Amino acid sequence: MTTHPDTEIDALILDYNGVKGLQPTVPMWHQLAEVADWPDRDIRSFQEAFWGPRDAYDAGQLSDLAYWAKVLGYHPGPRALRSLRAADTEMWIRTDDRVLDILYRAHRPDLPMVLLSNAPHFLSDALDATAWRRELMTEALYSARLGLCKPDPAAYRHALAATGVADPGRVLFVDDRADNCAAAVRLGLRTLHYTGDPDDLARHLPSGSAATLARTVGSTLLAS
Ligand SMILES: [Mg+2]
């Protein structure tokens, strides 16, 4: 699945959750189940209910209210919906500083970095408000805004167009899901199936110049 390391790339297309974004912790799932007032706080059944309509939510086909109505089996009131949405978003906005540091080091004007994430509208807005999105990403494409999710080939075509690079063989796609990577391979993109090892990511990226590194380390400190 993963293509050989090759720093001869002109652009990056990067997944968010599982690459830059950390997975939710077990206490976070318990917290969300608590906010949802889930019967017996049973996490397994809650996660099943949570993931069932998630693809449609990510694809922008369900409003926040419609999504949570499907999860809960009833329509939450406005205050409950705000709490659910906030707790849900909180679970997904923590980032892996090791990965961000590597991306800041690789960042340079002639290496576009495009975010391609399956995310609902509310999370998309939260990610757009972050310093790393503003400082690192040339463009950010979210499934809810595109109206389609990875691994739909159209999502990758949008992202490739956003890089401004015509040849997919000069673009590295990074994602933690094998099916998303397989779709990228079929479109001719270079692919890194990210499995949580930041060094593996670093090996696949061109190193930034010393001047770029000095600037970005400074901005990272300011942003943190
Ligand atoms: Mg992911």
**pLDDT tier for residue 135 given thresholds of 50, 70 and 90:** very high
Measured from the Cβ of residue 125, the count of other Cβ atoms closer than 10 Å reads: 14
| Ligand 1 center to 151 CA (angstroms) | 11
Would you say residue 109 has pLDDT above 60?
A: yes
Average pLDDT, integer, range 85-91: 96
- Quick one: CA torsion of 61, 66, 72, 77, rounded to 10 degrees? 150
The answer for residues whose C-beta is within 8 angstroms of residue 80's C-beta and 6 or more apart is none
Q: Can you read off the two tokens belonging to residue 5?
A: 């390391």
Q: Average pLDDT of the chain?
A: 91
What pLDDT, on the 0 to 100 scale, is given for residue 218?
Answer: 42
The answer for residues whose C-beta is within 8 angstroms of residue 32's C-beta and 6 or more apart is 46, 50, 84, 87, 88, 91
Contact 105, 216 (CB under 8 A): yes
As assigned by CATH, the class of the 11-22+95-223 domain is alpha beta
| Ligand 1 center to 82 CA (angstroms) | 25
Average pLDDT, integer, range 117-141: 97
| Ligand 1 center to 157 CA (angstroms) | 18
Kindly list the domain boundaries of the chain, sorted by start residue.
Answer: 11-22+95-223, 26-92
**Given the DSSP bridges, would you call strands 139-142 and 11-14 parallel, antiparallel or unpaired?**
unpaired
| Ligand 1 center to 17 CA (angstroms) | 4
| Ligand 1 center to 210 CA (angstroms) | 30
Contact 167, 190 (CB under 8 A): no
Average pLDDT, integer, range 55-70: 98
DSSP state of 169: G
Question: What type of residue is 14?
Answer: L
**pLDDT tier for residue 207 given thresholds of 50, 70 and 90:** low
Average pLDDT, integer, range 36-63: 97
Average pLDDT, integer, range 145-168: 97
Rounded-to-integer distance, Cα 91 and Cα 88, Å = 5
| Ligand 1 center to 118 CA (angstroms) | 8
Does the global pTM surpass 0.85? yes
Least confident window among 43-57, 91-105, 196-210:
196-210
